[in-house]
Amino acid sequence: MSLSARANILSRLRAGLGKSSPLTKGSDQGSVAHYNWSESEKIEHFIEVISGVKGEVHRVSESNWPEAVQTLLSDRGIDRLLVSEEKQTGKRLIGSTLELIPTTGFDERKDELFFSIPASLTTAQSAIAETGSLVLWPDEQEPRSMSLVPPVHLVLLRAQDIHGTLADVIRAEGWARGMPTNALLISGPSKTADIARILAYGAHGPKELIILLVS
Amino acid sequence: MPEQIPMQNLSFNQRVDRDLNNPALRTHFREAMDFLMDKRSHSFTDDEKLQSLRELGSSIRKRALSKLPDLLEQLENKLRDNGIRVHWAESSKEANQIVLDIAQHHGAKTMIKGKSMVSEETELNECLEQEGIHPVEADMGEYILQLAKEKPSHIVMPAIHKSKEDIAKLFEQNLDDCEYTEDVDTLIQAARKELRKQFHSADIGLTGVNFMVAETGSLVLVENEGNGRLATTVPKVHIAMTGIEKVTEYLDDLPPLLTLLTNSATGQAITTYVNIISSPRKGGEGGPEEVHLVLLDNGRTIPFADEEMRQTLQCIRCAACMNHCPVYTRLGGHAYGATYPGPIGSILSPHLLGLEATKDLPSASSLCGACSEVCPVKIPITDLLRRLRHEGVRKLKKDEEPVIRGHGAKYTHTEKLAWGSWSKLYSSPALYRTFAFSASMMRGLTPSKMKGWTDYRTTPKPAEKSMHALIKQHRKARKGEPL
C-alpha cells in the first residue's frame, strides 16, 4: 500500500506542477529584522526577554556559580540534584552539600526520574537574545529528559555564547552541516493558557527555569 | 452551555442557528478573539518590518511548493539516512492504518498524544479505540476535549469554547482526587499529575509536526506545555503525522517562519519549546528507539494542481485568520462542521472533503478581507473563497476537467434562471423600465411575509414612483430653466 501511495502522491504532485519552473532562494522577497547589538546589549536583551516569560536569571562568575546553585536550591528546600558526573557542572559540585544524582544508566531509572528527582542542572550550548531562548543539544551526559521531567531546571550559560538571533546561531554553529538527534530551544518554564486563556506555569515540563549566567 | 448535538447530524444552517443563539458561547468567543488579536498586535509593533517578514514567509512557502515533490524526496532520503522511517498515505484511512500497524507491531496498548490537528483530520482516536488501543490526549486543551467527548473549535487553542466552570466540572467528574475548583493552577496541576502517569507508561508517543526541513531531515515541533517534548522523548516509539505540504527547503527558512507562526498565533516572540528532531536515539542521550513519519495527502494534491488554489497549502496553521474573522468570532469553530474552521478551513476543507460536503463554507464569509490582511504567508484567502464559490456554481465547459471534487455542488436551475433574468432585465433599458413601472403599479400586491427577508427586515415594497420616473418628472418641471 505505502509504495503505491508514495508513487501516486509524487506523480500527482509532478502532474500538478506541469511545466512550471521551480523558484530559487535568489527570488525570495522580503527580509527578517536585523540587529546591531553589542555584546552587552545581547546579554541585556536576553535577560529582559526570558525574564518576561518567568525565566529566572542570576548573574554569576566562573568561580562562584557552584555556590549559587547550592543557595538557590536550599532556598527551595531542595537537597538533591540530577547532574552529569562527567561534565564540569557535576565535577565542580563535588563536595557541596547537595546529593548529586548521576546521569549514567539514566534509562533504567524512569521511575526515579518521573517521581522523585526534584531538580536538574544542564549546560546550555548557546542562547538567543532576540527571543530569550536557551539552545540545548542533549547528549549522553545530559539526556534530553533532564531538561524536561524534573520540576526545577537549572541551566549554566556563558555570556559569550549569547547570539543575536536563531539564524545567527544556525550560521555560527553550522547546524545545516548536521543536526543532532534533538536540538532544543527553551524559552521559559513550561506553561499553558488552555483553560480560559489564563496563564499557568508547570503544565508538563519544569515549573521553574533558573539560568546561571556566567560572565 | 446547552448539550452539543453531534454536528454531523445537523445541516450547516442548523449549526449556525444553534450557535448564534447561544449567548454564552458568543461572549466567550468574542472575548477570546479580542484577546488573541490584542496579543498579536502587541507583538508586531513595526508594520514595515511585519510586511517585509510576511513577504519573506510567503516567498519561502511558495518556493517550497514550487518544488514540493523533489523536496519530499530529499526529505525522505535525509530522514532515512538519519534513521527515521517515512510512510506515505493517500487518505485518512491509509494514515490511520499505518499508525495502527506500527502500534500493533509493538503490541501497544496505550498511545500518548501531543497536539496533532492532522490526527483530528484522520479521526485517528476513533480508529485506535476500535482496535483496542487507548489514545490519551496530552495537550491540555485536547485533554479537556477528550474528557468532554468534543472536537476542537480552534486549531491553536482547541478548547477555547470551554469555560473555566465547564472544565472544573469535567475534572471533578473524571480525575481521581480532584475536587471542584475554579483555580486554574490547581486544575492544571491535577491534569499534569494524571498525564505524567500516562507519559510514564505509554507505549507510543504520537505528535503532529509544524515544519519539516528537507535540507537536514528534521521535524520541528512548536509548543508551550512540554506535551510534545514528552511524547517525543519518553515512549520507545514516536510517530509523527503531518500533511505533505509542511516541508521547507533549507534550515535557514525556519527562523522567519517560526517568528511568523508564534507571533501571529499567540503574540509570543517564540514558544516555550522548539523541539527539532532529526533521528531516533543514538546511545544514552535518550529519546525513542524508533521514529516514524506519516506523510498525508488526503486531498492536498487537488489544490496543488491549480496554481491559484495551490496557495492554500502555504498555510502554517497559526489561526490568525480565524482570530480576526468576524464570522468565526460570532459562530465559534463548531458551526463550520470541519476539522479546520474559520477562513483557512473554508478554503482548505472543500479540497479535503469535497465541495459537496462543504458547499456552504466558501459562503460563510463576508469577504471583509481581515484574514488575508493578517495571514503571515500572504494567502489571498478572500480570492480563494470567491474562486471556490465560483467553482461551486459553475458549469464545466465541454471536455473540461473539474479542479475540485464536488464541482458545481451549489449549482441550481432556479438560481441560474434568476441571474439569467436579472442580467437580461438590467441590460435592456426598455425591459427595465417596463419592469419598474409594473412593480410600482402592483406595489399593493407585495406580500407581507417574504421567507428569509422579513424575519429581520421590513417588506421591500416598491416605491410609488421609480427613480427614473421621478427624474423625468423633475426635468419636466424645470424645463426651460438654465442648467
B253: its cell numbers: 527558512
B168: its cell numbers: 472544573
CB-CB contact of B60 with B314 (8 Å): no
**What is the maximum alpha-carbon separation in chain B?**
102
CB pairs under 8 A between A and B: 272
Task: Give the closest-approach CA distance of A46 to chain B in angstroms.
Answer: 12
User: End-to-end CA distance of chain B, in Å?
Assistant: 66
Beta bridge partners of B85: B292
Distance CA B251, CA A178 (A): 11
B217: its cell numbers: 531531515
Contact list, B54 vs chain A (CB under 8 Å)? 30
* Dihedral, B130, B132, B136, B141 alpha carbons, nearest 10: 10
Task: Give the closest-approach CA distance of B67 to chain A in angstroms.
Answer: 5
Distance CA B374, CA B362 (A): 19
With cell 556559580, the residue in question is A65
Distance CA A186, CA A135 (A): 7
Q: Kindly give the pairing relationship between strand B204-207 and strand B110-113.
A: parallel
Q: What pLDDT score does B482 carry?
A: 61
Report CB contact under 8 Å: B139, A194.
yes
Residue in chain B nearest A28 by alpha carbon: B59
- Residues listed for chain B: 483
Report CB contact under 8 Å: B164, A196.
yes
Q: Which residue among A23, A139, A170 places its CB closest to the CB of B63? A: A23
Angle between helices B254-266 and B47-66 (to 10 degrees): 120
Chain B contact present for A1, CB below 8 A: yes
Q: What pLDDT score does B5 carry?
A: 46
* Dihedral, A127, B377, B160, B19 alpha carbons, nearest 10: 180
CB-CB contact of A58 with A68 (8 Å): yes
Element (H, E) at A182: strand A182-186
Distance CA A214, CA A187 (A): 18
Q: Which residue among B249, B276, B305 places its CB closest to the CB of A15? A: B305
Chain B contact present for A197, CB below 8 A: yes
DSSP H helices, B289-341, are: 301-304, 320-323, 326-331
Give the HSE-up count for residue A86: Cα atoms under 13 Å, Cβ half-sphere: 8
Q: Which residue among A9, A28, A143 places its CB closest to the CB of B88? A: A9
Cβ atoms within 10 Å, residue A85: 15
Chain B contact present for A172, CB below 8 A: no
Chain B contact present for A122, CB below 8 A: no
Distance CA A123, CA A142 (A): 8
Report CB contact under 8 Å: B269, A185.
no
Residue in chain A nearest B213 by alpha carbon: A176
Q: Which residue among A107, A149, A166 places its CB closest to the CB of B284? A: A107
Report CB contact under 8 Å: A181, B295.
no
How buried is B373 (Cβ within 10 angstroms: 0-12 exposed, 13-18 middle, 19+ buried)?
Answer: middle
Report CB contact under 8 Å: A182, B304.
no
The backbone torsions φ and ψ at residue B205, rounded to the nearest 5 degrees and listed phi first, read -110, 130
Task: Give the closest-approach CA distance of A28 to chain B in angstroms.
Answer: 5
Cβ atoms within 10 Å, residue A77: 7
For residue B163, what are the CA distances in angstroms to A38, A75, A196, A199, B32?
Answer: 46, 37, 6, 14, 11
Map residue B338 onto helix, strand or coil.
coil
Q: What pLDDT score does B1 carry?
A: 39
Lay out the sheet containing B237-243: strands in order across.
B85-89, B290-296, B237-243, B204-207, B110-113, B134-137
Closest by CA to A183, choosing from A132, A126, A121, A99, is: A126
Listed as ranges, residues in chain B with pLDDT below 50 are 1-5
CA B281 to chain centroid, in Å, comes to 34
Q: Which residue among A106, A189, A195 places its CB closest to the CB of B184? A: A195
A142: left (phi over 0), alpha (psi -120 to 50) or beta: beta
Angle between helices B184-201 and B140-148 (to 10 degrees): 90
A167: its cell numbers: 539564524
The CA-based angle B436-B440-B446, given to 5 degrees, is 110
Closest by CA to A128, choosing from A47, A210, A20, is: A47
Q: Which of A1, A3, A8, A9 is the best residue to mutate to test the B interface, defined by the most B CB atoms within 10 Å of its own CB? A: A9
Tell me the residues of chain A between 23 and 82 that have a Cβ less than 8 Å away from chain B. 23-25, 27-33, 49, 53
Query: For each of chain A's 215 residues, which pLDDT tens digit applies?
Result: 557 999 999 999 999 999 999 999 999 999 999 999 999 999 999 999 999 999 999 999 999 999 999 999 999 999 999 999 999 999 999 999 999 999 987 777 888 888 899 999 999 999 999 999 999 999 999 999 999 999 999 999 999 999 999 999 999 999 999 999 999 999 999 999 999 999 999 999 999 999 999 99
**What is A64-113 written as a DSSP string?**
THHHHHHHHHHHTT--EEEE-SSSHHHHHHTTSSSEEE--TTGGGGHHHH
Task: Give the closest-approach CA distance of B84 to chain A in angstroms.
Answer: 11
Cβ atoms within 10 Å, residue A112: 12
Q: Which of A141, A190, A195, A209 is the best residue to mutate to test the B interface, defined by the most B CB atoms within 10 Å of its own CB? A: A195
Closest by CA to A121, choosing from A106, A96, A100, A94, is: A100
ipTM associated with this complex: 0.97
Q: Radius of gyration (Cα) for chain B, nearest Å? A: 27
Contact list, B69 vs chain A (CB under 8 Å)? 10, 13-14, 17
Residue in chain B nearest A185 by alpha carbon: B274
Task: Give the closest-approach CA distance of B284 to chain A in angstroms.
Answer: 5
Distance CA B309, CA B384 (A): 7
Contact list, A182 vs chain B (CB under 8 Å)? 232-233, 275-278, 285, 287
With cell 527580509, the residue in question is A31
DSSP category for residue B268:
-
With cell 417588506, the residue in question is B459
Q: Which residue among B59, B200, B218 places its CB closest to the CB of A29? A: B59
Distance CA B75, CA B87 (A): 12
Q: Which residue among B255, B304, B310 places its CB closest to the CB of A167? A: B255
Full-model pTM? 0.94
B154-212 residue pLDDT tens = 999 999 999 999 999 999 999 988 999 999 999 999 999 999 999 999 999 999 999 99
Residue in chain B nearest A165 by alpha carbon: B255
How buried is B357 (Cβ within 10 angstroms: 0-12 exposed, 13-18 middle, 19+ buried)?
Answer: middle
Residue in chain A nearest B36 by alpha carbon: A197
Task: Give the closest-approach CA distance of A143 to chain B in angstroms.
Answer: 4
The backbone torsions φ and ψ at residue A11, rounded to the nearest 5 degrees and listed phi first, read -75, -35
Distance CA A40, CA A55 (A): 19
Q: What pLDDT score does A96 carry?
A: 93
Contact list, B256 vs chain A (CB under 8 Å)? 32
CB-CB contact of A30 with B57 (8 Å): yes
Contact list, B78 vs chain A (CB under 8 Å)? none
Report CB contact under 8 Å: A179, B139.
no
Give the HSE-up count for residue B304: Cα atoms under 13 Å, Cβ half-sphere: 28
Q: Which residue among B199, B285, B304 places its CB closest to the CB of A138? A: B285
Distance CA A186, CA B277 (A): 14
B45: its cell numbers: 509593533
Q: What pLDDT score does B3 carry?
A: 44
Q: Kindly give the pairing relationship between strand A99-101 and strand A80-83.
A: parallel
Distance CA B204, CA B232 (A): 9
B432: its cell numbers: 427595465
Q: What pLDDT score does A39 carry?
A: 96
CB-CB contact of B396 with B408 (8 Å): yes
For residue B470, what are the CA distances in angstroms to B24, B312, B439, B441, B465?
Answer: 50, 50, 15, 14, 6
Query: Can you say whether the dihedral through the CA atoms of B400, B404, B405, B406 is positive or negative?
Result: negative
Distance CA B297, CA B302 (A): 9
